[in-house]
Structure 1
């Protein structure tokens, strides 16, 4: 059973180990090489707009999942995630995104976007399985400077 909870200092080593997988920085904004300092910065981030969770099955870290409040007045947010190599292909991301949707609704967010690289078939499948639809829009990678080419497919979900 997948359990999402906020990250803790004791998770740093598991985060560092998982983020050594080159597929994670390939598709996300996770730095490479990923260090303990990166993990601690992530764990202790103080941004009230970001609801960060780590996913566990038992005591095994299976992924990182976040809900970003983009515009509360517009009831709009964004989800992001990565799944540890050993846990891929088991529906972990889809389960987590469903939980993030429920959290979003609790916060008054009724519209979510999920951006997946056009070549990331796994994440594009998660978006579809989680009830997001392809908007037909391409954007640069979110929150990256300098901007990347518009290679990210925008998926949207609405509770309305």
Structure 2
């Protein structure tokens, strides 16, 4: 059973271990190599535009799931996540994204976007399974400077 909760300092070692998988920085903005300092910065991040959660099954870290770029006035947020190597292909991301939709609803957010690299079939599948629609738009990787090529497919979900 998947449990989502806010990260704590006790999660740092598990985050560092999971983020050594080269597939995570390949598709996300997670730094490589990923260090304890990176984990603690993630855990201690104090930004009202971000809500981070860690996913666990039987006390094992299975992923990181976030609402990003939260704008309550615009009722908007972006979904970001990664799934640990051992947990991929089991529906963990889809379950977590469904739960993030509930969190968004509680915050009054009515539009979520999920950006998946055009070559990341797994994340594109998660978006579709979680009820997001391909908008037909391509964007550069989010929060990357300098901007990348527009290789990220924009999926959107609306509560309305």
TM exceeding 0.5: yes
* C-alpha distance in structure 1 between counterparts of 2:70 and 2:42, whole Å: 19
1:104-154 superposed Cα distances (whole Å, 9 cap, x missing partner): 000000100000000000000000000000000000000111101000000
Task: Tell me the SS of whatever aligns to 1:14.
Answer: helix
The Cα RMSD (Å) is 0.6
CA distance in 1, matches of 2:72, 2:90: 32
Correspondence for 1:53: 53
How far is the alpha carbon of 1:34 from its aligned partner?
Answer: 0.3
Do structure 1's residue 99 and structure 2's residue 99 form an aligned pair?
yes
Q: Secondary structure at the match of 1:89?
A: coil
Matched, 1:119 2:116: no
Residue 72 of structure 1: how far off its partner (Å): 1.5
Instruction: Give the superposition deviation at 1:20.
Output: 0.3
Q: 1:68 and 1:117 mapped to 2: Cα distance? A: 17
Structure 1 residue 86, shift from structure 2 partner = 0.1
Q: How does 1:1-160 map to 2 (within 5 A)?
A: 1-160=1-160
Distance 1:68 1:95 in 2: 18
* Alignment: residue pair count: 160
Q: Is the CA contact 2:50–2:70 (under 8 Å) kept in the aligned structure 1? A: no
Q: What residue ranges of structure 1 are gaps of 5+ in the alignment?
A: none
Q: Following TM superposition, by how much is the alpha carbon of 1:74 offset from its aligned partner in structure 2, in angstroms? A: 1.6
Is this contact kept in 1: 2:12–2:40, CA < 8 A? yes
1:80-109 C-alpha deviation (Å, 9 max, x unpaired)? 000000000000000000000000000000
Q: After TM superposition, what 4+ stretches of structure 1 lie above 4 angstroms from structure 2?
A: none
For 1:150 and 1:70, the matched residues in 2 are separated by 22
In structure 2, how many angstroms separate the alpha carbons of the residues matched to 1:117 and 1:41?
Answer: 25
TM-score, normalised to structure 2's length?
0.99
Deviations 1:7-53 (A, max 9, x none): 00000000000000000000000000000000000000110111100
Contact 2:16–2:35 under 8 Å retained in 1 = yes
Measure, in 2, the Cα distance between the counterparts of 1:3 and 1:69: 23
